[in-house]
Amino acid sequence: MTWPTLLDRCRRLPPACFAPVMATGIVSRALAQTGARAASALLFGIAVAAYLTLLTATVLKAVHHPGVLRAELRDPARLFGHFTLFAASGVLATRLAHGLGRVAAYALLVVAAAVWAVLAVAAVGLGRSGGRTLLRQADGTWFLATVGLQALALTLTSLHSGRTVLTVALLLWATGVLMYTATLTSVVLRLLRDPPRAAQLAPTYWVTMGAAAISTLAGAQLVTHERSLPRPSQGPLDGTVLVLWAWATVLIPPLLAAGVWRHLHHRVPFTYELALWCIVFPVGMYATATAQLATAGDISALTVTERPLVGAAAVAWLAVGARYAAARLG
């Protein structure tokens, strides 16, 4: 591949290109929890390789095509896709938080914080320039901002168990929950005003569930350090985590029904698209969050669901991966 061709491919890199890394990383963690170490290690290696490749391509895009990147950050339909870089960094950092990988985890934390700052400024700028117009475009990708913030809270909790760090993580988690509520309100209002056609009902709406699941996971992880948290937060934290998990559970049937309505009733072709990884990530995150909640809350009834949920996440990863391979080979 020639240098101009490589730079052109970097220019066309989609904003949400890190979605496969998010999905692969969380399925790898879910598999590790069930003892499938070889499969977990394989997927984690794939996620790291994809992350480094995409990060290099993103840097080249920023250096050689800054105008394209600025245009994406000013477009509400593409801005939130960039939060996949932030979330992917957090997902990988939590896997590297122990042992020799801690240095890499801290590096990923720095990358995530820098990306969050840039994207937050861009999002605030969009809101100031046209708030009402922006709300008309609210969709599932908006929940990626919450996913990213909760990934940061997870990373901090995984890297350090000191009281100050845990308090910061708790504040980030609470902010993420509030952000999720605001985003959910915006998306629901938009859907009621302008119901999407079947072709527009993209798989990204699954991130609605994924954001609730990662909020559950981050909260459940904080619960395991509850004695180091401010005492007034302990009761509300436990209750909110259960509500978030219940809400994520409630969302699964309508999301499945929407897929049936889209592909079977309206016969929208089920072809490979990058957004399909936005189904894999929530499924893997829900499996991981459920297992963490069962441990943190000592809820034995949930432990029996761990292997079936992880199996579903692995099957989803294989299905989307097969679609990707078929699309590339075809």
Alpha helix ranges (H) inside the chain = 3-11, 19-33, 37-64, 66-73, 76-79, 83-95, 102-135, 143-159, 163-193, 207-223, 234-260, 277-296, 300-303, 306-329
CB-CB contact of 108 with 90 (8 Å) = yes
Residue type, 297: G
More confident residue, 118 or 99: 118
DSSP collapsed to 3 states, 61-81: HHHHCHHHHHHHHCCHHHHHH
Q: Of 209, 232, 226, 231, which Cα lies nearest the Cα of 287? A: 209
DSSP character string of 7-25? HHHHHT--TTTTHHHHHHH
CB-CB contact of 65 with 11 (8 Å) = yes
What does DSSP assign to residue 305?
A: T
Question: How many Å apart are CA 302 and CA 305, to the nearest integer?
Answer: 6
* Percent of the chain surpassing pLDDT 90: 52
Average pLDDT of the residues in 122-135? 70
* Residue 133, Cβ density class (10 Å: 0-12 exposed, 13-18 middle, ≥19 buried): exposed
What confidence tens digit (pLDDT) does each residue in 317-326 have? 999 999 999 8
Most confident of the ranges 47-56, 150-159, 183-192, 221-230: 47-56
What confidence tens digit (pLDDT) does each residue in 182-235 have? 999 999 988 888 887 877 778 889 999 999 999 999 999 998 887 878 877 767
pLDDT at 265: 78
Instruction: Copy the structure tokens of residue 266.
Output: 């309206």
pLDDT at 209: 96
Average pLDDT of the residues in 247-271? 89
pLDDT at 67: 92
Average pLDDT of the residues in 289-307? 86
Average pLDDT of the residues in 49-62? 95
Q: Quick one: how far is CA 311 from the chain centroid?
A: 19
What is the pTM (predicted TM-score) of this model?
0.92
Question: Does residue 330 carry a pLDDT above 90?
Answer: no
| Domains by residue range for the chain, with CATH | 14-323 (1.50.10.150)
Q: What is the dihedral of CA 226, 227, 230, 234, to 10 degrees?
A: 40
Residue type, 59: V
pLDDT at 199: 74
